[in-house]
Amino acid sequence: MNYKVIQLWQELDKSKYTFNETTKCFISEENNLVLDFSDIDWVTFNTSFDCIFNTGSYCTFNTGSYCIFKTGSYCTFNTGEECTFKTSSYCIFKTGSYCTFDTVSDCTFKTGFDCTFKTGFDCTFNTGSYCIFKTGSYCIFNTGEECTFKTSSYCTFKTGSDCIFKTGSDCTFNTSFDCTFNTSFDCTFKTGEECVVVRRDMYEVIELEEV
C-alpha cells in the first residue's frame, strides 16, 4: 500500500503511529500530521489535532479539532471544532463548531454553531446557530438562530430566529421570529413575529402573521 504520513515537512517516524494494512486502521496521538492515503479506501483514522487528510472513499475519521479533510464518498466524520471538509457524496458528519463543509449530495450533518455548508441535494442538517447553507433540493434543516439559507426545492426547515431563506419550491418552514423568506411556490410557513415572504413566482411581498 502506498501512503505517506508527514509531520513538519518530514516523514513521521513509524514508532509514532501504527497502520494495520489488514484492518486498515491508522492510530496516532501526534498533532500536525499530513496524511496522504488518497489511493486507499476503507481506512479508519484515529488522530489528534491539526491534521490534514487526503483519502479515498468509505473512510472513518475520529479526530481532534482544526483538521482539514479531502475525501471521496461514503465517509464518516467525528471531529472537534474548526474543521474544513471537501468531500463527495453519502458522507456523515458529527462535528463541533466553526466548521466548513463543501460536499456533494446525500450527506448528513450534526454540528455545533457558526458552520458553513455548500452541498448538493438530499442532505439532512442538525446544527446550532449562526450557520450558512447553500444547498440543492430535498434537504432537511433543524438549526438554531441567525442562519442563512440558499437552497433549491423540496426542503424542510425548523430553525430559531433571525434567519434568511432563499429557496426553491415545495418547502416547509417552522421558525422563530424576525426571518426573511425569498421562495418559489407551494411553501408552508409556521413562524414567529416580524417575518416577511417574497413570492418570486407572483412578485409579491407578504408580511406573515405569527402562528
- The 10 Å CB-count burial string (b at 16+, else e) for 167-206 is bbbbbebebbebbebbbbeebebebeeebebeeeeeeeee
pLDDT digits (tens, 9 = 90+) for 116-131: 999 999 999 999 999 9
Amino acid (1-letter code) at residue 141: F
**Which pLDDT score is estimated for 18?**
97
Going by C-beta distance under 8 Å and a sequence separation of 6 or more, which residues neighbour residue 140?
123, 124, 125, 155, 156
* 114 and 133 Cβ atoms separated by less than 8 Å: no
54 φ/ψ angles, rounded to the nearest 5 degrees: -125, 105
**Which pLDDT score is estimated for 86?**
95
* 191 and 176 Cβ atoms separated by less than 8 Å: yes
Task: Name the more confident of 109 and 201.
Answer: 109
* 176 and 192 Cβ atoms separated by less than 8 Å: yes
pLDDT digits (tens, 9 = 90+) for 133-192: 999 999 999 999 999 999 999 999 999 999 999 999 999 999 888 888 888 888 888 887
* 88 and 73 Cβ atoms separated by less than 8 Å: yes
**Which pLDDT score is estimated for 193?**
76
Give me the chain's average pLDDT, please.
Answer: 91
* Dist. CA 81–CA 61, nearest whole Å: 14
92 φ/ψ angles, rounded to the nearest 5 degrees: -125, 130
Please give the model's pTM, rounded to 2 decimal places.
0.86
